[in-house]
Structure 1
Amino acid sequence: MSDAHASRFATLSREELARLVPELLLIGQLIDRSGMAWCISAFGREEMAQIAIEEWSGASPIYTRRMQRALGYQGTDVVTIFKGLQLDIGAPPQFMDFRYTVTDQWHGEFHLDHCGALMDVEPMGEDYVRSMCHDIEDPTFDATAVATNPRAQIRPLHRPPRSPVDRHPHCAWTVIIDESHPEVAPLPAYHHVATKRAADLVLEPIDPTDDGAGDYAGPLVSDVDFATFSHSALVRIADEVCLQMHLLNLSFVHAVRQRSTSEDQTREICRKQLVGIAGIAAERIHRALTLPVDEGGALRTLELHPLLNPAAYVVAEVTDGLLRVGPSPAHDDGDAWIGMCGPSETTALQAAVRAIDPRLDVEVDGSPGEWAARVVRREAAAAEADEVAVTRFSSGAAFAFEPRRSLPITPI
């Protein structure tokens, strides 16, 4: 294979990358819309909440620090925390519409003008709302903050269940950093995920001579305008966002395994999570980049799919009409998505290509760690996979981004 470390996102234009990065952030959020339905079915609501806590607390401190280093905004203050949230799959722009206020270096607030996750959960009832907005948010917000300052505390001013039922904004929180606060320590899941190849994967540095912003070292802005970043920076951001997804998935698999009665049950739940997100991600990527609705467009979509990126983590290439996958750090990690794809497991790849055209299919030859896939067209259209249909219940599946002005936020 050719150089596996050259980012596949580098083949996109700067304009295309600026459209794609928000899509990738939203796709990362939808991983839970895909996975948690199956956790509820297998283990119940309360255990689902514990899985979510372990999943996010295991991954977010690692990927938050990675993005800080990549974009040069490392610090210990409130602004650093807020910048991290803007580039976090847990808070995709507009769908999770965070609005920030900075009082000073150590004090700030944010509220959500729109919480897509709440819109998905509210119809399920107050118990599910409390699980998400109380049981899950408290420890996972602390886990995110610990990546910047272990003495940061994120605490609610108000949060759902909403009273009155149409209360707006959906929630509001204070962020206070104080030396008197006890230090927050990472939760146990973090120490498991930190051992994975994905955690310390080396990616190409941003070229500081490229046109456009090469970092986020300047002021905090209300809405990140990805079009202001350089091509090189956008490539790195796209790779980092895909890596966020892999880290979240590795943490998810670990949490599910702790509760499963067998390895077969673990694998089946995690396979369903992958199939659901594979289809929705392919649909959104294909639409955002206006790719052809044919076999070539499907291969190009796979080439840019989080399942196969970043290139330094998943060794793959498209040549001669084939997607070829080889041994890679993702295989070394054992629980990565790519390990659930191959000649005997085609459902995720099928979900991805059928999101483009239900008559498309894949034929896969090779071994579990080294295989080649060809996209083919069938006469009859296939039904949408149940796993994709479940993920589509989220309002995020059809969410449309709107133009926003990017304004600097100054302390009040």
Structure 2
Amino acid sequence: MSDASDEWAASSAATEPVRQIRDENPSRYADLTRDQLATLVPELLLIGQLIDRSGMAWCIAAFGREEMLQIAIEEWAAASPIYTRRMQRALGYAPDVPGQGDVVTVFKGLQLDIGAPPQFMDFRYTVHDPWHGEFRLDHCGALMDVEPMGEDYVRGMCHDIEDPTFDATAIATNPHAQVRPIHRPPRTPADRHPHCAWTVTIDPAHPEPEPVPALAVNELSRAARLELAPIDPADEGLADYRGPLLSDVDFGAFSHSALVRIADEVCLQMHLLDRAFALAVAERVETGDELVRLRRKQLVGIAGLGAERLARALDLPHDTAGALRTLWLHPLLNPAAYVPASGGAGSITVAPGPADEDGAWISLCGPHWPDALRAIAGAVSPHLDARVTEAPGAGWRVEVVAGEVRPEAEEVAVTRFSTGASFAFEPRRSIPITPV
């Protein structure tokens, strides 16, 4: 590790489990309706996928394309095994014997993974038996983003990154799972559909891959160990994802309680991914200041674009109240058990908590650096800005104020390069998938 890496990892490692104080930190998503939550969850999944569109451009500028690829590999491989198992436990489809899940378990995890947001990454699944399956991507939004950049970038994503990171996700379910390509880009012919196709095979003869070292570090984080309120099985609607694999997850079929938990888990996925990103970047910088600079550029981009998508999806007003509401629901401030905050008359007060101890996004923000909060306000309306001041005791307070039109931050404009910026979800039928 570099000195910057040692310093950052040591300062943000958890020393004890983190438990939600439910009376003080209920989910901020709990006061949304069930319909609003069913709209919110796929939005959060897509926002999580766009984190790389925000961060990797700055890594290319700082380190070059080859190092950017390695950062992406280490980032996803150090995060996805943790959050895949968290979602399995939350929704009741974890293997009866840890580490002995089947291909259906693998596929369910992909459907609830920020690396594979529904429709934008349009996975179609085939199950042959518990140990053999296939998936194809009828549409790959990530491919649409990188194809204009040239074949080297396509090969880097679809070969160099996907080979180790698909396996890293699958082995969270079973260490003997292997994901292998049937075909993949660069596309020949140029309009080939589906965009790619892969097999998933679980065989005890497959050797267990070696995890990236950062995974063990990330597993000690407070985000990895955070305990959230269980889903209420008496709530109307589905409380879990037991049973058959579905062609498309019908989020509207889940109960209000289940959707709240899913939303909180998806936000934790983002924090775990960002933490893994920070660990990978820390290995490649000379100073802590350089690490902070790159992390802040990533945060501003995803803060602004994420806010724009959330406000649009939930039809929030383009005024100060709408901007505060957007901030309240933004992954930057969620889940509530991770980022303690309170809402007052026209402001939000953020208190120190587990996210600060992890060195998470919120630890970058405050009166000394309000840029991410300003990007959220400006995404709701270019007339809006964020004013951040110290709070009595500890923490800080953010208000949204109206004023002159402000230009969009460069970091948000860079992230807007992704087709995910304007992607629109469509209604889908949810059909059980049976072995063929």
TM-score (norm 2): 0.93
CA distance in 2, matches of 1:369, 1:179: 53
SS, match of residue 10 in structure 1: coil
| Residue equivalent to 2:36 | 16
- Would you say 1:85 and 2:110 are equivalent positions? yes
User: Given that residues 223 and 355 in structure 2 are in contact (C-alpha distance below 8 angstroms), is that contact kept between their aligned partners in structure 1?
Assistant: yes
Find the partner of 1:286 among 311, 331, 337. 311
CA distance in 1, matches of 2:194, 2:371: 40
Matches within 5 A, 1:52-67: 52-67=72-87
CA distance in 2, matches of 1:357, 1:317: 23
Summarize deviations over 1:302-340 as a string: whole Å, max 9, x none.
000000000000001211111100010001112x00011
CA distance in 2, matches of 1:341, 1:352: 12
CA distance in 2, matches of 1:78, 1:363: 49
User: Given that residues 303 and 317 in structure 1 are in contact (C-alpha distance below 8 angstroms), is that contact kept between their aligned partners in structure 2?
Assistant: no
Q: Which runs of 5+ in 1 are unaligned?
A: none
- Would you say 1:72 and 2:92 are equivalent positions? yes
Which one-letter code corresponds to 1:291 in the other structure? L
Report deviation, 1:74. Answer: 0.9
CA distance in 2, matches of 1:2, 1:294: 31
Please give the root-mean-square deviation of Cα atoms over the aligned residues, in Å. Answer: 1.2
Summarize deviations over 1:225-250 as a string: whole Å, max 9, x none.
10000000000000000000000000
- Would you say 1:38 and 2:58 are equivalent positions? yes
SS, match of residue 218 in structure 1: coil
Report deviation, 1:184. Answer: 2.2
User: Given that residues 215 and 229 in structure 1 are in contact (C-alpha distance below 8 angstroms), is that contact kept between their aligned partners in structure 2?
Assistant: yes
SS, match of residue 26 in structure 1: helix
CA distance in 2, matches of 1:15, 1:139: 37
| Residue equivalent to 2:6 | none
With 365-374 and 264-273 compared, the bigger mean Cα shift is at 365-374
Find the partner of 2:416 among 389, 392, 403. 392
Identity of aligned pairs, percent? 69
Which one-letter code corresponds to 1:345 in the other structure? W
Report deviation, 1:369. Answer: 6.0
Which one-letter code corresponds to 2:361 in the other structure? W
Which one-letter code corresponds to 1:261 in the other structure? E
Q: Give the ranges of 4+ consecutive aligned residues of structure 1 lying more than 6 Å apart after TM superposition.
A: none
Find the partner of 1:363 among 375, 378, 387. 387
CA distance in 1, matches of 2:137, 2:56: 22
User: Given that residues 150 and 185 in structure 1 are in contact (C-alpha distance below 8 angstroms), is that contact kept between their aligned partners in structure 2?
Assistant: no
Which one-letter code corresponds to 2:273 in the other structure? L
CA distance in 1, matches of 2:218, 2:24: 23
Matches within 5 A, 1:369-408: 370-378=395-403, 380-408=404-432
| Residue equivalent to 1:117 | 142
Report deviation, 1:359. Answer: 1.1
User: Given that residues 80 and 273 in structure 2 are in contact (C-alpha distance below 8 angstroms), is that contact kept between their aligned partners in structure 1?
Assistant: yes
| Residue equivalent to 2:183 | 158
SS, match of residue 168 in structure 2: helix
Report deviation, 1:4. Answer: 3.9
CA distance in 2, matches of 1:369, 1:43: 37
With 286-295 and 383-392 compared, the bigger mean Cα shift is at 286-295
| Residue equivalent to 1:51 | 71
Summarize deviations over 1:342-398 as a string: whole Å, max 9, x none.
0011000000010011111111111796000111111x2000000000000000010
With 185-194 and 274-283 compared, the bigger mean Cα shift is at 185-194
Q: Which runs of 5+ in 2 are unaligned?
A: 1-20, 96-100
Report deviation, 1:3. Answer: 4.3
Between the two proteins, the alignment pairs up a number of residues equal to: 410
SS, match of residue 154 in structure 1: strand
TM-score (norm 1): 0.98
